[in-house]
């Protein structure tokens, strides 16, 4: 059985599902990739999403960060392609922007311009988060064993009769005729509900230990909006990133190309040097960046949206890999486990790494042949922790250099959490 598993290609579906019903909480990037992997092992998969729709036209309340530029790291793109074969072509056909030539990405950091290493054979894609989610969802919706329940909020978990394994979830409808809680049985539950995950409380309510939490907060703020890309503007790049540099260059900004000849523009401030929400001051802040390229690009450009702000994007890890006791069958992925300072553009990649970690954990799970879930939670959380070690170190080691960075008491930092 295991030999067959290791030869299995990502897109193949097991002829006999190993587990019964799995439920994924949240239809963000982590939820959708975890669902993709799980769907190959279960008889039925339900994605429970608090928002009322997939947000065809743009953003949705459950993902406020989508109002800000999102760039997918090449590693994340590669993993997505492995899990959703052909997704790169689909996105390109739906007007995602391809960045493959040297010079397509202008990157300013530490007082100088740096050339991003790009490869036209494997271009880096840029598009809105909504477009990416839409394509991932479309793939999942093509599988009749997968069901998505919108406007439904998870309120808690329950165990099965053993008290050691997850038994299901309590759901609350958010529709007009809401009503009370209903139970949904599940053999596997994945929490991919993002930064505001309530999994520690859900575990505690069942008498299971909550994870240790580490937090390193560089006091980052974003203010962003979408612009029409000026037809006449000859910028010589497709994407521009002026990244804040510790300890003193607290201001930065980014222009990411979006489908439909648009730019997603974000101003970034670290160490509480937050960009302003007022129109005139927004441009002043852009002019105050270490180089003028971003200001010059947007000063005559036509805004297509209002300004959106975001604060509170700290680095926060919940050490589910170190729990003394696990609720078997319950897994935590994406920002719910590892939320990173977005300045380093690693969050979506960390989210899809969770899918890859689950794939590995399932393939090597001793109970796979018999459908025994015991041990999978620990195996997965450990694999995830190993996978996200690099992004966590990069973000926290740099953030630690900002004078105003706050580090939560018990956080292990200098030698890195995994040393
Ligand atoms: C300003 C900003 C800019 C960023 N830029 C980048 C970038 O350039 N590149 C990058 O890779 N990453 C970036 N990120 C990080 C990225 O957004 C996250 O890492 C990523 O979205 C995590 O995905 P997720 O699926 O874990 O969570 P989310 O995308 O937050 O999804 C969580 C989902 O769960 C749902 N949900 C929540 N609670 C419940 C509940 N109780 N019941 C049912 N559903 C629920 C929500 O509605 C939502 O759909 C940025 C983040 C911020 C804040």
Kindly give the distance from the C-alpha atom of residue 320 to the centroid of ligand 1, in angstroms, as a whole number: 19
Question: How many Cβ atoms from other residues are within 10 Å of residue 121's Cβ?
Answer: 5
Max mean pLDDT among 11-25, 47-61, 103-117, 333-347 falls in 333-347
Please work out whether the CB of residue 346 comes within 6 Å of at least one atom of ligand 1. yes
Q: Is 177 exposed, middle or buried (0-12, 13-18, 19+ CB in 10 A)?
A: exposed
Q: Is 132 in the pocket of ligand 1 (CB under 6 A)?
A: no
- Asked if residue 268 and residue 231 are part of one domain, the reply reads yes
Q: Does 121 lie in the same domain as 143?
A: no
Position 74 in a domain:
no
Q: Do 366 and 250 belong together in one domain?
A: no
| Contact indicator for 83, 48 with CB cutoff of 8 Å | no
Same domain? For 164 and 102 the reply is: no
Domain assignment of residue 376, yes or no: yes
Q: Are residues 144 and 202 in the same domain?
A: yes
73 within some domain: no
Domain final residue pick, 257, 291, 311:
311
256 has a pLDDT exceeding 90: yes
Q: Ligand 1 centroid to 67 CA: how many Å? A: 11
| Mean pLDDT calculated for residue range 237-263 | 96
Do 145 and 266 lie in a common domain? no
pLDDT value at 416 more than 70: no
The verdict on the CB of residue 347 being under 6 Å from ligand 1 is: yes
Shortest-distance atom of ligand 1 to CA 152 = 43
For residue 275, pLDDT beyond 70: yes
Nearest CA to ligand 1 atom 46: 62
Structure tokens at 324: 């003394």
Domain count along the chain: 2
Name the helix (H) or strand (E) containing 387. Answer: helix 376-399
The whole-number pLDDT of residue 54 equals: 59
Q: Write out the two tokens for 64.
A: 């406020």
Please state whether 321 falls in left (phi above 0), alpha (psi between -120 and 50) or beta.
alpha
What value does the mean pLDDT of the chain take? 91
Span 25-50, average pLDDT:
97
Ligand 1 nearest-atom number relative to CA 197: 38
Q: What is the mean pLDDT of residues 206-213?
A: 96
CA of 144 to the centre of ligand 1 (A): 26
Instruction: Check if the beta carbon of residue 61 is closer than 8 Å to that of residue 51.
Output: yes
Residue nearest to atom 4 of ligand 1 (CA): 342
Ligand 1 centroid from CA 89, angstroms = 24
Q: Whose CA is nearest to atom 5 of ligand 1?
A: 70
Q: Let me know whether 332 and 371 are in one domain.
A: yes
Residue 414 lies inside a defined structural domain of this protein:
no
Q: Whose C-alpha lies nearest to ligand 1, atom 52?
A: 65
Q: What's the CATH code of the domain at 260? A: 3.30.9.10
Q: What range does the domain containing 143 cover?
A: 2-67+133-216+315-407
Choose the final residue of a domain: 254, 281, 311.
Answer: 311
pLDDT digit string, tens, across residues 350-378? 999 999 999 999 999 999 989 999 999 99
Establish whether residue 200 lines the binding site of ligand 1, counting it when its CB lies within 6 angstroms of any ligand atom: no
Of the candidates 350, 362, 294, the one whose C-alpha atom is nearest the C-alpha of residue 28 is 350
DSSP calls for 111-148:
TEEEE----TTSPEEE--HHHHHHHHHHHHHTSTTEEE
Cα within 13 Å of Cα(17), Cβ side: 16
- The predicted model scores a pTM of 0.94
Residue 15's pLDDT is what?
59
pLDDT given for residue 408 in this prediction? 85
Same domain, 198 and 344: yes
Last-in-domain residue among 278, 296, 311: 311
Give me the pLDDT at residue 341, please. 96
Q: Are 233 and 202 part of one and the same domain?
A: no
Same domain? For 279 and 306 the reply is: yes
Confidence at residue 102, expressed as pLDDT on a 0 to 100 scale: 80
| Average confidence (pLDDT) over 169-176 | 87
Question: Which of 62, 186, 267, 313 for a ligand 1 pocket mutation test, highest count of atoms within 8 Å of Cβ?
Answer: 62
Whole-number pLDDT of residue 14: 58
- Please tell me if the CB atom of residue 80 comes closer than 6 angstroms to any atom of ligand 1: no
pLDDT of residue 5: 38
Residue 146 within any structural domain of the chain: yes
CA separation for the pair 83, 36 (Å, rounded): 7
What is the percent of the chain where pLDDT is above 90?
81
Count other C-beta atoms under 10 Å from residue 280's C-beta: 8
Rounded percentage of the chain residues whose pLDDT exceeds 70 = 93
Longest CA pairwise span in the chain (Å): 67
**Could you tell me if 239 and 106 lie in one domain?**
yes
Which residues make Cβ contacts (< 8 Å) with residue 93, sequence separation at least 6?
A: none
pLDDT band at 180; cut points 50, 70, 90: confident
In a domain? residue 261: yes
Residues 203 and 173 in one domain: yes
**How many angstroms is it from 16 CA to the middle of ligand 1?**
33
Question: Is the Cβ atom of 345 under 6 angstroms away from ligand 1?
Answer: yes
Within a domain: residue 77? no
Give the closest residue to 385 by CA, choosing from 353, 414, 348: 353
Q: Which residues are CB-contacts of 323 (< 8 A; sequence separation ≥ 6)? A: 208, 209, 211, 378, 381
CA-closest residue to ligand 1 atom 50? 342
Closest ligand 1 atom to the C-alpha of 354? 26
Instruction: Summarize pLDDT for 78-100 with one digit per residue, the tens.
Output: 999 999 999 999 999 999 999 98
**3 state SS of 317:** strand
- Indicate whether residue 348 lines ligand 1 (CB < 6 A): yes
User: Is the C-beta atom of 266 inside 6 A of ligand 1?
Assistant: no
Ligand 1 contacts CB of residue 63 (under 6 A):
yes
- Most confident listed range (51-55, 56-60, 181-185): 181-185
193 CB under 6 A from ligand 1?
yes
291 found inside a domain: yes
């Amino acid at each position: 059985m295991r030999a067959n598993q290791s030869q299995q290609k990502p897109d193949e579906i097991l002829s006999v599902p190993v587990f019964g019903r799995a439920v994924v909480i949240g239809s963000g990037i982590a939820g959708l990739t975890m669902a993709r992997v799980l769907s190959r092992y279960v008889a039925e998969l339900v994605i429970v999403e608090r928002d009322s729709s997939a947000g065809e036209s743009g953003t949705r309340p459950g993902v406020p960060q989508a109002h800000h530029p999102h760039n997918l790291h090449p590693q994340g793109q590669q993993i997505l392609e492995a899990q959703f074969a052909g997704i790169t072509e689909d996105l390109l056909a739906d007007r995602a922007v391809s960045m493959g030539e040297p010079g397509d990405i202008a990157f300013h950091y530490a007082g100088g311009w740096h050339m991003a290493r790009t490869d036209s054979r494997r271009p880096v894609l840029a598009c809105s988060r909504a477009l990416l989610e839409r394509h991932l969802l479309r793939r999942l919706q093509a599988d009749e064993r997968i069901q998505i329940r919108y406007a439904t909020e998870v309120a808690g978990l329950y165990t099965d009769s053993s008290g050691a394994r997850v038994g299901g979830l309590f759901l609350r409808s958010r529709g007009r005729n809401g009503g009370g809680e209903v139970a949904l049985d599940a053999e596997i539950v994945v929490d991919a509900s993002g930064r505001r995950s309530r999994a520690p409380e859900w575990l505690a309510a069942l008498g299971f230990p909550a994870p240790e939490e580490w937090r390193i907060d560089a006091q980052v703020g974003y203010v962003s909006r979408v612009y029409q890309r000026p037809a006449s503007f000859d910028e010589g790049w497709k994407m521009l990133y002026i990244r804040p540099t510790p300890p003193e260059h607290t201001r930065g900004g980014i222009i990411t190309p979006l489908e439909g000849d648009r730019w997603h523009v974000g101003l970034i401030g670290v160490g509480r040097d937050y960009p302003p929400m007022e129109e005139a001051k927004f441009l002043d802040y852009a002019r105050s960046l270490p180089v003028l390229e971003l200001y010059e690009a947007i000063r005559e450009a036509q805004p297509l949206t209002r300004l959106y702000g975001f604060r509170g994007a700290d680095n926060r890890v919940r050490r589910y890999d170190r729990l003394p006791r696990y609720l078997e069958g319950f897994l935590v992925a994406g920002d719910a486990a590892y939320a990173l300072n977005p300045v380093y553009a690693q969050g979506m990649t960390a989210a899809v790494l969770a899918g890859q970690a689950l794939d590995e954990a399932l393939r090597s799970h001793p109970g796979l042949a018999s459908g025994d879930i015991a041990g999978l939670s620990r195996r997965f959380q450990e694999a995830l922790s190993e996978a996200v070690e690099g992004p966590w170190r990069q973000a926290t080691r740099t953030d630690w250099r900002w004078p105003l960075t706050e580090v939560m008491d018990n956080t292990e930092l200098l030698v890195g959490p995994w040393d």
